[in-house]
């Protein structure tokens, strides 16, 4: 209190004397654990920033003192004050970020006037200030805006005394706000990454694995990698270093560090970073890392209790990421060209996925709010999406859990809330971005495969999967406006998911008509389609989804023709939209000298291979609906498609309209004539139609 009183009342000279003689006591007091915020504030107010600013900037020093002694004293006090979260964000502290960084970058400049001990103390204090700022989102924002990143990079590249602390600070920033860090700082961060990767490649002792851990945070976003991969050597250095260590016998901690880096490289850059030009060696390296990942999964999951599993969670998540990439790689490969490699890798992966299935069977229901269970379901979903036969009996054993787990997360509630709050605790995410909580979206492709087989379909139905999927479709069609306005990648992902969902329902409608008639879920599903589908079917996007919704709508209408829903005025709008979709598939183009030619419409061509079967199915179902839904054939006539169909059939272009399409369209005309007086009258008075009908067998 005496010191504070002197500092409050003294002039500059006396303040300096008091400060010099009491600085050690003040430092200990401010840093003491039992010193409360109010006491720190009194000390801070007594000293004030004006005086600290003078200490940092003055060129006039007393005899026997040095400018660096003044600066060191100011830094010591600032480091003390930064232990208070509120004081660390004071504008007078954040404005000194360049000063803190310059001290870390220019230790050689201090050597003449400052002994090594004082110099180390100053750098430690500067680091403490920066670390305190790094402890809050607001402080991190100030560090980025005030140019801390280039200066920290300089300290690391030049191997300054405090480079490890600089690495820690920069890693925190890159882990917490990567986009903001890389924006405008690509050159300095890539330069630092080059240095770190070079050290990793060259190092021959245990320090190699410490650098390995640091590198994970410094890897650039994929777009930066694609832009710089021909000029930067970091990917080659990392590949070389990993190839060397992964072929060696390693302890658990060292192998985990190497596998985490491998996993991150694969997730960010796929296999583009594996620069091996020899295909055989490249495949050998891929087989090695998949094999190691599978070994880790089995070693850490089999015969372990939940706590033992969670102790190895980071290593397991890294292995899961490698397995996800391997599954996608196998699905994209030309199997015949690498047959032996695929067989070898598949055999290894089967054992790992059996371990995952067993883990989920043992722990899944008891630990639904545990993020690692979510990660395990996620990687299993990747396997189920691409492999429909291998391990299917084992997958069926946990299918009830998968449906239940999806329902719990979809409906929300305590498990979903706890899982959401815990997700931030994943220290090594299984995906490049924060993992999506929409686990059902991940499982849809696998469920689609299961719904195509009778035994597995029964298991899914017994667990009311169709009820869950109806709710899921309704929710996503109702909340689609945000998707329509969002980024292209999310729109594509949304369309693929809902298309897959329609595929599951089509499997059920085709294979189990009695279920569709008796279970009210499907009538509710038809109501959802009638209410929401016209918006999507009429829009210019989502062609694949349009095809799925149209086919599903007509297939349901065929079975549920007696439903009051189909007498509702809204159903007319729905059917009009579906007919419009079907009518746009083929078009006549002006071929100049040769007249007009028949082609697949321009906007349908890019996706025709995906939707042509759905188009045929929809036309067939529409034809069957004519006899069950009075007025539907007339609607086709009023929409103008009947005449267009006749024009298509008389065009005589087998290269565009094959025999199967011709047969389906002819059946459409026959059914329309048979069930609609208006259509029959129209056909009898139209030469084009008469010529077309004369060809119907």
Instruction: Say whether pLDDT at 372 is over 70.
Output: yes
CB atoms within 10 A of CB 49: 18
Could you read off the pLDDT of 313-359 as tens digits, one per residue?
A: 999 999 999 999 999 888 877 555 566 777 888 889 999 999 999 99
Instruction: Say whether pLDDT at 253 is over 70.
Output: yes
pLDDT category at 428 given cuts 50, 70, 90 is very low
Query: How does DSSP assign 614-652, residue by residue?
Result: HHHHHHHHHHHHTTTSTTHHHHHHHTTHHHHHHHHHHH-
Could you read off the pLDDT of 528-549 as tens digits, one per residue?
A: 999 998 988 887 778 999 999 9
Return the bridge partners of 586, or none.
600
Helices marked H in 146-251 — which ranges? Answer: 148-157, 163-176, 178-182, 186-202, 207-218, 222-228, 234-246
Angle subtended by helix axes 234-246 and 279-301, to nearest 10: 60
Contact by Cβ (8 Å): 633, 672: yes
Number of H helices, E strands in the chain: 40, 2
Phi, psi dihedrals of residue 561, rounded to the nearest 5°: -60, -25
Q: How large is the average pLDDT for residues 218-247?
A: 90
Contact by Cβ (8 Å): 125, 75: yes
Could you read off the pLDDT of 358-369 as tens digits, one per residue?
A: 999 999 989 988
Q: What share of the chain is helix, strand, coil (3-state, %, to 5)?
A: 75, 0, 20
pLDDT category at 1 given cuts 50, 70, 90 is very low
Q: Which of 50-64, 133-147, 373-387 has the lowest mean pLDDT?
A: 50-64
Q: What is the b/e burial string over 433-462, where b = at least 16 CB atoms within 10 angstroms of the residue's CB?
A: eebeebbbbbbbbbbbbbbbbeebbebbbe
Q: Which of 15-29, 110-124, 468-482 has the lowest mean pLDDT?
A: 15-29
Q: What is the torsion angle, in degrees rounded to the nearest 10, for the CA atoms of residue 350, residue 354, residue 357 and residue 361?
A: 170
Instruction: Say whether pLDDT at 656 is over 60.
Output: yes
Q: What is the torsion angle, in degrees rounded to the nearest 10, for the CA atoms of residue 400, residue 402, residue 403 and residue 409?
A: 140
For 682, counting Cβ atoms within 10 Å of its Cβ (0-12 exposed, 13-18 middle, 19+ buried), the class is middle
* 1-184, CATH topology level: 1.25.10
Q: What is the 3-state secondary structure (H, E, C) of 370-419?
A: CHHHHHHHHHHHHHHHHCCCCCHHHHHHHHHHHHHHHHHHHHCCHHHHHH
> What per-residue confidence (pLDDT) applies to 589?
72
pLDDT category at 7 given cuts 50, 70, 90 is very low
Please give the angle made by the CA atoms of 106, 112 and 115, to the nearest 5 degrees: 90
Token code pair at residue 250 = 């390693």
Could you read off the pLDDT of 179-226 as tens digits, one per residue?
A: 999 999 999 999 999 999 999 998 888 889 999 999 999 999 999 998
Query: How does DSSP assign 428-454, residue by residue?
Result: S-SSSSSPPS-HHHHHHHHHHHHHTSH
Q: How large is the average pLDDT for residues 383-391?
A: 88
Q: Which of 35-39, 76-80, 320-324, 605-609 has the lowest mean pLDDT?
A: 35-39
pTM exceeds cut of 0.75:
yes
DSSP 8-state secondary structure symbol assigned to residue 540: S
Instruction: Say whether pLDDT at 281 is over 50.
Output: yes
pLDDT category at 277 given cuts 50, 70, 90 is low
DSSP 8-state secondary structure symbol assigned to residue 564: G
Domain ranges of the chain: 1-184, 521-625
The alpha carbon dihedral of 470, 472, 475, 476 has a sign of negative
Instruction: Say whether pLDDT at 377 is over 90.
Output: yes
Q: How large is the average pLDDT for residues 406-432?
A: 66
Q: How large is the average pLDDT for residues 418-431?
A: 57
User: How far is the C-alpha of 108 from the C-alpha of 116, rounded, in Å?
Assistant: 10
Mean pLDDT (the chain, rounded):
84
Find all residues with CB under 8 Å of 152, minimum gap 6, and list them.
101, 104, 166, 169, 170
User: How far is the C-alpha of 386 from the C-alpha of 629, rounded, in Å?
Assistant: 40
> What per-residue confidence (pLDDT) applies to 687?
67
pLDDT category at 109 given cuts 50, 70, 90 is very low
Q: How large is the average pLDDT for residues 599-620?
A: 94
pLDDT category at 517 given cuts 50, 70, 90 is very high
Instruction: Say whether pLDDT at 261 is over 50.
Output: yes
Please give the angle made by the CA atoms of 20, 25 and 26, to the nearest 5 degrees: 80
């Amino acid at each position: 209190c005496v010191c504070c009183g002197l500092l409050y009342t003294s002039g500059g000279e006396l303040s300096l004397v008091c400060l010099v003689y009491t600085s050690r006591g003040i430092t200990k007091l401010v840093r003491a654990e039992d010193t409360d915020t109010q006491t720190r504030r009194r000390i801070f107010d007594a000293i004030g920033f004006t005086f600290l600013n003078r200490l940092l900037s003055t060129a006039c020093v007393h005899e026997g003192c040095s400018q660096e002694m003044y600066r060191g004293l100011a830094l010591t006090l600032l480091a003390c004050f930064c232990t208070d979260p509120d004081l660390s964000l004071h504008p007078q502290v954040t404005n000194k970020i360049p000063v803190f960084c310059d001290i870390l970058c220019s230790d050689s400049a201090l050597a003449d006037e400052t002994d090594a001990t004082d110099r180390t103390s100053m750098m430690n204090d500067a680091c403490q200030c920066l670390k305190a700022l790094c402890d809050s989102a607001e402080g991190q924002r100030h560090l980025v805006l005030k140019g801390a990143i280039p200066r920290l990079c300089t300290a690391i590249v030049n191997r300054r005394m405090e480079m490890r602390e600089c690495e820690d600070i920069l890693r925190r920033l890159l882990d917490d706000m990567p986009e903001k860090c890389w924006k405008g700082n690509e050159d300095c961060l890539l330069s630092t990454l080059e240095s770190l990767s070079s050290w990793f490649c060259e190092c021959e002792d245990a320090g190699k694995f410490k650098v390995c851990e640091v590198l994970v945070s410094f890897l650039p976003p994929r777009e930066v990698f694609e832009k710089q991969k021909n000029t930067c050597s970091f990917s080659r250095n990392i590949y070389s270093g990993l190839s060397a260590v992964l072929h060696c016998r390693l302890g658990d901690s060292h192998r985990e560090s190497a596998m985490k880096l491998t996993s991150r490289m694969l997730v960010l850059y796929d296999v583009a970073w594996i620069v091996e030009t020899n295909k055989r060696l490249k495949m050998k390296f891929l087989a090695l890392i998949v094999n190691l990942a599978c070994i880790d999964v089995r070693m850490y999951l089999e015969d372990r209790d939940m706590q033992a599993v969670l102790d190895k969670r980071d290593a397991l998540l890294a292995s899961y990421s490698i397995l996800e990439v391997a599954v996608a790689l196998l699905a994209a490969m030309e199997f015949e060209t690498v047959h032996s490699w695929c067989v070898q890798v598949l055999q290894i992966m089967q054992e790992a996925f059996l371990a995952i299935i067993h883990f989920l069977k043992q722990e899944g229901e008891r630990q639904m709010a545990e993020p690692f269970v979510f990660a395990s379901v996620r990687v299993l979903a990747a396997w189920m999406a691409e492999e429909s036969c291998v391990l299917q009996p084992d997958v069926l054993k946990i299918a009830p859990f998968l449906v239940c787990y999806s329902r719990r997360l979809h409906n929300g509630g305590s498990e979903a809330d706890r899982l959401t709050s815990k997700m931030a605790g994943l220290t090594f995410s299984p995906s490049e971005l924060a993992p999506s909580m929409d686990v059902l979206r991940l499982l849809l492709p696998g469920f689609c495969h299961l719904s195509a087989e009778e035994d597995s379909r029964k298991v899914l139905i017994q667990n009311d999967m169709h009820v869950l999927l109806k709710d899921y479709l309704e929710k996503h069609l109702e909340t689609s406006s945000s998707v329509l306005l969002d980024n292209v990648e999310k729109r594509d992902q949304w369309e693929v998911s809902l298309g897959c969902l329609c595929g599951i329902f089509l499997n059920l409608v085709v294979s189990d008509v009695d279920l569709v008639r008796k279970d009210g879920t499907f009538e509710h599903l038809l109501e959802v389609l009638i209410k929401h589908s016209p918006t999507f079917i009429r829009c210019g996007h989502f062609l694949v989804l349009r095809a799925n919704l149209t086919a599903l709508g007509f297939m349901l209408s065929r079975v549920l023709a007696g439903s009051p829903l189909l007498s509702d005025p809204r159903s007319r709008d729905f059917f009009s939209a579906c007919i419009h979709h079907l009518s746009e598939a083929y078009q006549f183009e002006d071929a100049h000298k040769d007249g007009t030619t028949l082609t697949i419409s321009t906007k349908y061509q890019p996706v025709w291979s995906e939707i042509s079967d759905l188009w045929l199915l929809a036309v067939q179902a529409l034809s069957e609906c004519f006899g069950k839904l009075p007025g539907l054939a007339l609607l086709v006539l009023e929409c103008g498609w009947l005449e267009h169909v006749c024009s298509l059939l008389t065009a005589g272009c087998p290269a565009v309209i094959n025999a199967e399409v011709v047969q389906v369209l002819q059946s459409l005309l026959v059914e329309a004539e048979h069930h609609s007086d208006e259509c029959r009258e129209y056909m009898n008075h139209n030469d084009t139609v008469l010529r077309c009908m004369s060809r119907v067998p």
